[in-house]
């Protein structure tokens, strides 16, 4: 199954990420980051554990296939598998760089 970030509402994504420690720090940049990543078609393949976007192709992967989570819900995948990319984009925006 491939999870496309653009298939989920901004509110749902924000709710999934609200548990993260640095969420409040980058809150004002989160909507911009999510919008930028949706426009680049950020997606996560739950079978292979690989994350892709249109600009760079494959951007993250599990080096050990045994580490790929098999019992995650959609919310868990957004929080843990895609959440890091969103938080990174928000951090970049907060420092004056492009999201991607």
pLDDT tens-digit readout, 9-42: 999 999 999 988 888 889 999 999 999 999 999 9
Q: Is residue 45 part of a domain?
A: yes
Q: Is residue 7 part of a domain?
A: yes
Q: Is residue 99 part of a domain?
A: no
- Judge if pTM exceeds 0.85: yes
Q: Is residue 9 part of a domain?
A: yes
Q: Work out how many domains the chain is built from and give that number.
A: 1
What confidence tens digit (pLDDT) does each residue in 41-98 have?
999 999 999 999 998 999 999 989 899 998 999 999 999 999 999 999 999 999 999 9
Q: Is residue 85 part of a domain?
A: yes
**HSE of 100, CA atoms in CB hemisphere, 13 A:** 18
Which whole-number Å values give the CA distances from 50 to 47, 66, 89, in the listed order? Answer: 8, 13, 18
> Which domain covers residue 13, as residue numbers?
2-94
**HSE of 8, CA atoms in CB hemisphere, 13 A:** 25
């Amino acid at each position: 199954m491939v999870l496309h970030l653009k298939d989920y509402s901004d509110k749902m994504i924000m709710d999934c990420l609200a548990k993260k420690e640095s969420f409040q720090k980058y809150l004002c940049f989160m909507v911009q980051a999510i919008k930028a990543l949706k426009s680049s078609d950020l997606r996560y393949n739950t079978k292979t554990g690989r994350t892709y976007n249109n600009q760079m192709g494959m951007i993250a992967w599990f080096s050990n296939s045994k580490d790929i989570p098999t019992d995650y819900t959609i919310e868990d995948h957004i929080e843990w598998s895609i959440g890091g990319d969103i938080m990174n984009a928000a951090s970049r925006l907060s420092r004056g760089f492009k999201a991607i």
